[in-house]
Amino acid sequence: MSSVLVPRRSKTWSRKVKISRHVFQTVMVLWVAWLVWEKSQSSTASSPEAFCPFGGFETAWTFITTGKTVSHVHTANLVLAGVVVILALSMRGFFCGWLCPLGAIQEGIRKVGRTVRDSVPPLRKAGRYLNKRLTWLPRVDNVLKYGRYLVLAWALVGAAVTGTMVFREVDPWSALLSILEFEFSTGFVVLIVFLFLSLFLDRPFCRYACPLGAIQGLIGKASPVAIQRNAANCLGCTICNDACPMNLPVNTRTRVTDGGCIGCLECVVACPSKDALALTFSFPTHIPIVSSEDNCEELERLDQEKGEDREGVMS
C-alpha cells in the first residue's frame, strides 16, 4: 500500500481565517448592541431599522413606480440594498457569512448548545441515538430550505401591493432591534423560537426563513467567486459537509454555486486536504478543473491512487 498522502492544509492558515471571520462578526454584533442600547435610551435616536438592507428591497417597487418609499423605510435602506447586491455579485454570500449580526448570534448559540451536549454524557448519547433514528431529517431539511424563497415572495409582493412592510410584523431582526423595549410581538416570538432552535440546528432562520439570504442566494448565482472542489485531491470524507452551517453537500460538488452558500469558508477551513477545496474566481460558465488532454493521464493516475490515499489517511 502506498504511503503517499495528499498535502495537508496548514492549521495556522485555517485558524487565521476563522479568527478573521469571528472578528468581523463580533464587531457587527457589538455595533448592533450599541444601536439597540442607544434606541432604548433616547426617543430621538436614529432608527436602527435604517441599517437593514432588506427594507431597500421591500420598497424597491414602490420607489421605482412612485418615487416614494413604504413606511419605516429610509433612504439608507436603499443604499444598503445596493451594497448587498454588489457584495452578492462580487463575493456571493459574504454578507451572510461574515457580516450578518443575526447569523452570528445564531452561530454563537449553536456553539453553546454543542458545548453543553458534548459536556453532558446523557445528552451526548441522546444526540447520537437521535442521529441514528431520525434518518428522515435531511429530506425535511431539503424541503424547508425553500421556505425562505416563499417568505421573500410574500414580503416583496405584500409590500408592493399594500405599500407597507408586511414582513416587519414577524421579522426577528426588527424584534431584536427593539428587544430592550420589552414589547411582546409576533416578531419577538419568532425571534425567540429561532434562537431556541439555534441550540440544536445551525442557522435555522438563515436556512429556512431569511428573505435577505434568499435574495443574496439568487443574485450570487451570477458571482464569479465560489468554492471549488478538486476531485483529484478530495479524500472522499464528509468533513466539509459536517462543517457547513447551511448543510450543503460540498463533497459532491465540483463548484459550490448553491444559493444557500454563505461564503463562510468553514468547509475550506475544515478540509484536511490542502488542494481539495479553495475559494476561486471563475465565471459561472467556466469550471477551472483540469480537463485538457495534456493532463488526462495525470488525473487517471491520481484517481487510481485516490483509494490508497484514503486508506492512508484513515490509518
Query: Is 171 a residue whose pLDDT tops 50?
Result: yes
Alpha-carbon span 39 to 34, nearest angstrom? 9
Last residue of a domain, one of 168, 189, 219: 219
Alpha-carbon span 71 to 239, nearest angstrom? 46
Residues 32 and 177 in one domain: yes
Q: Would you say residue 71 lies in a domain? A: yes
Last residue of a domain, one of 161, 191, 219: 219
Q: Would you say residue 7 lies in a domain? A: no
pLDDT tens-place string over residues 223-271 = 999 999 999 899 889 999 999 999 999 999 999 999 999 999 999 999 9
Residue 259 belongs to a domain with what CATH number? 3.30.70
Q: Would you say residue 302 lies in a domain? A: yes
Q: Would you say residue 2 lies in a domain? A: no
Q: Would you say residue 151 lies in a domain? A: yes
Over 293-307, what HEC string results? HHHHHHHHHHHHHHH
C-beta separation of 280 from 288 below 8 A: yes
Is the entire prediction scored with pTM above 0.95? Answer: no
Count of domains forming the chain: 2
Residues 164 and 281 in one domain: no
Mean pLDDT of the chain: 85
pLDDT tens-place string over residues 208-224 = 999 999 999 999 999 99
C-beta separation of 227 from 255 below 8 A: yes
Q: What is the pLDDT of residue 286?
A: 44
Q: Would you say residue 14 lies in a domain? A: no
Residues of the domain holding 73 = 25-219
Query: Is 292 a residue whose pLDDT tops 80?
Result: no
Q: Would you say residue 3 lies in a domain? A: no
Q: Is 14 exposed, middle or buried (0-12, 13-18, 19+ CB in 10 A)?
A: middle
Residues 73 and 157 in one domain: yes
pLDDT tens-place string over residues 117-131 = 989 888 888 888 877
Residues 233 and 280 in one domain: yes
Q: Which amino acid is at 91?
A: M
